[in-house]
Amino acid sequence: MLKTIVCIVGLASLVLCAAGRVSQVSYIGCYLDNEARDLKGLTGVSKIGQFSIGSLMLSSASMTHELCSRVCSLGGFPYFGVQVGLQCFCGTSYGSLGAANASDCNSVCSGNGASKCGGEWRISVFALTYPYKKYFEQTQMPNQTVESTQSTYWTSADKTKAECLMMCEASADCQAVIFSGQQRLCHLLRFAYPRACQPQQYRWRLLCSRLTAFYPGSLLAKKPNHFANCSIA
């Protein structure tokens, strides 16, 4: 049956329309890693919002499972891994180098002494799941962006916001959409934030993200007076 998306937007300014998807975390196991890296989802990415990325990873002296899952959720990645106490990786697959002994992942997380974050060339791998919900929530567009040497979006010629939202809903790679009413263009984003070098000549009318409120103090801060009445039937 054909799904239709209804999104009633009461703002003339740029808005963020975010789907209510909450990430859930489950531990998979301890795995081997090497210089080629097992989880390579952040290839080409140098920054996601406030987080700086280098050599396929986020390094933080305050690393926790929650922090790493928060970063990887912005790209809708199904897996994340933590290593040597302070490194975070995202990916679409894991285990290419084989499993390690569970006891090898014995490094304490730098941001939480009660948790383990991999070890020396050992990575603690977790699964991220995103329960499906049939609605979108509207907030203001975030100031955060993504910086990457690789493409972080693709474009489709869509006549309406509903068509744009349906395109995103049908693609696992789509975390957000930006719709230009004047040009009838739909930009489907691979991350919940727009690219830093997004062309300024476009007058975007709608950004709809699947990923918001997955942790308290979400990067995509919601404002009740900016909510839209959105649903998928």
Residue 16: is its pLDDT beyond 60? no
Confidence of residue 136 (pLDDT cuts 50, 70, 90): low
**Does residue 140 sit in helix, strand or coil?**
strand
Dihedrals φ, ψ of 224, to 5°? Answer: -55, -35
pLDDT in tens, 33-47: 999 999 999 999 999
- In angstroms, the CA 192 to CA 173 distance is 11
Give domain 9-20+131-232's CATH architecture: 3-Layer(bba) Sandwich (3.50)
pLDDT bucket at 224, cuts 50 / 70 / 90: very low
Q: How far apart are CA 139 and CA 93, in angstroms?
A: 32
pLDDT score at 199? 47
**pLDDT at position 65:** 96
For the chain, the straight-line distance linking the first and the last C-alpha, in angstroms and rounded, comes to 10
Which of these, 43, 20, 140, lies nearest to 89 by C-alpha position?
A: 43
Contact 83, 73 (CB under 8 A): no
Q: Quickly list H helices, the chain.
A: 65-73, 161-169
pLDDT at position 126 over 80: yes
* Residue pointed to by tokens 């994340």: 80
Q: pLDDT tens-digit profile of 177-214?
A: 777 777 788 888 888 877 775 544 344 444 554 433 22
133 vs 12: CA distance, rounded Å? 26
Separation between Cα atoms, residue 35 and residue 14, nearest integer Å: 42
- List the structure tokens of 110: 């730098």
- As a whole number of angstroms, the distance between CA 20 and CA 17 comes to 10
* Domain range summary for the chain, segments of one domain joined by +: 9-20+131-232, 24-129
d(CA 74, CA 211): 7
- Tally of CA atoms within 13 A in the half-sphere of 34 that contains its CB: 6
The answer to whether 1 and 226 are in contact (CB under 8 A) is no
Among the ranges given (39-48, 80-89, 125-134), the one the predictor scored with the smallest mean pLDDT: 125-134
Distances (CA, A) of 61 to 64, 80, 98: 9, 18, 28
Across the chain, what does the average pLDDT equal? 76
Question: Is the model more confident about 27 or about 131?
Answer: 27
User: Tell me, what's the pLDDT at 222?
Assistant: 29
Instruction: Of 11-15, 40-44, 227-231, give the lowest mean pLDDT range.
Output: 11-15
Q: Return d(Cα 60, Cα 74) in angstroms, integer.
A: 17
